[in-house]
A = this chain, B = another copy of it.
């Protein structure tokens, strides 16, 4: 209709200024709530902005401010069950600060990671979260990156970096305490792959907690194997043969625990009457569908993500808090450790 419709793309300050009959400086001030703008003018500008569906170009704002309100989330494993909840927590926390998140998947490839990092930096992100695919410590990206970096799930091997992890050692303690609370004392441990810190950390915490109560693992050591139901099924049969007295089985993961539950049912052991079983990870789909439903330890991964986002924010604001920040895990009680009295 009028010549305004000729302008290409989204409305700009200039468009609003023309419609409101003022300068672009005045539009900017009015829309940003700056002082020294007459109320009547402000209203006129606002109406014009609304009519044109004006939405400020954040690229231009970012260019000027030196801050873009964006961060990079560099995951090594988009597929992973563990990285997703961390991502959710981070996305959640950033959203609350109206920061937008660039998602990049490095697929565990260092070259790809460097490539993505470069891309993020040229987009002038205000900071970066590096999301690991295991809890094993990973190489630091170093300190010549021009923006703050926070490592989540997998800590950096450099203590002057900022890292956030679930406290897996303490998780082992929590599991033991829970079984003790259920009146169990002859506890065996069927763990996963020993090359994973998540496996050894949990075992270490469990053993320390038992020791504090004057106890030790049945058999003296944890059994390490694969993170699979099959390993759980096989391992518990062996255990029962050698130590028929066990009344509690701690498992390195919910999958292993599920295998354990299946074997126990098949050999006629009643869970939780005869034996209590606990897993780790609180993998809802596995834990809730087990027979009986599985008690487990939740790593509170969303909280890991949230805290990572907050620490990144603080660092961007100049308040870097180096070191490894540990999130306390949580016992989730289901039927496999139910106490009947």
With beta carbons under 8 angstroms apart, the residue of B101, B121, B255, B259 that contacts A102 is B101
Query: By the criterion CB–CB under 8 Å, are A122 and B84 in contact?
Result: no
Of all chain B residues, the one with the shortest Cβ separation from A286 is B285
Contact at A9–B121, with CB atoms within 8 Å? no
Instruction: Tell me whether A55 and B122 are in contact in the complex, defined as CB-CB below 8 angstroms, given that A102-B102, A105-B88 are known contacts.
Output: yes
User: Which A residues from 59 to 92 make CB contacts under 8 A with B?
Assistant: 59-60, 62-63, 66, 68, 70, 73, 78-79, 84-85, 87-88, 91-92
Q: Check B84 against A79 for contact (C-beta < 8 Å).
A: yes
Q: A88-B79, A121-B55 are in contact. Are A100 and B104 (CB under 8 A)?
A: yes
Interface residues of A in 88-133 (CB under 8 A from B): 88, 91-92, 95, 98, 100-105, 116, 118-124
Q: Is A23 engaged at the interface, CB distance under 8 Å to the other chain?
A: no
Considering the complex, give the chain B residue whose CB is closest to the CB of A62: B59
B-chain residues with CB within 8 Å of residue A60 when the two chains form the complex: 63
How many chain A residues touch B (CB < 8 A): the figure is 47
Neighbouring B residues of A123 by C-beta, 8 Å: 58-59, 70, 100
Given known pairs A119-B98, A146-B10, the reply for A58 and B124 (CB within 8 Å) is yes
Task: Quote the shortest CB–CB distance from A254 to chain B (angstroms).
Answer: 10
A63 CA / B124 CA spacing, docked (Å): 14
Q: Nearest-CB distance from A237 to chain B (Å)?
A: 14
Q: Are A228 and B124 in contact (CB under 8 A)?
A: no
Q: A95 — which chain B residues lie within 8 A by C-beta?
A: 104-105, 116
A56 within 8 A of B: yes
Is A230's CB within 8 Å of the partner chain B? yes
- Measured in the bound complex, the distance between the Cα atoms of B60 and A66 in whole Å is 11
Closest to A258 in B: B289
Chain B residues with Cβ below 8 Å from A63 are 57, 59-60, 63
Most chain B CB within a 10 A radius of its CB, from A55, A73, A98 = A55
Docked-complex contact A78 and B87, CB < 8 angstroms: yes
Partner of A78, one of B84, B119, B146: B84
Cross-chain contact A59 with B68 (CB below 8 angstroms): yes
Q: Is A88 a contact of B78 with CB atoms below 8 Å?
A: yes
Given contacts A9-B146, A70-B102, A95-B104, 12 further A-B contacts (CB under 8 A): A55-B118, A55-B121, A57-B63, A59-B123, A70-B123, A78-B91, A79-B85, A95-B105, A100-B102, A100-B119, A101-B103, A102-B103
19 contacts between A and B (CB under 8 A): A55-B118, A55-B122, A57-B63, A57-B122, A57-B124, A58-B122, A59-B62, A59-B63, A59-B123, A60-B63, A70-B123, A78-B87, A79-B88, A87-B103, A91-B104, A92-B105, A101-B102, A101-B103, A229-B289
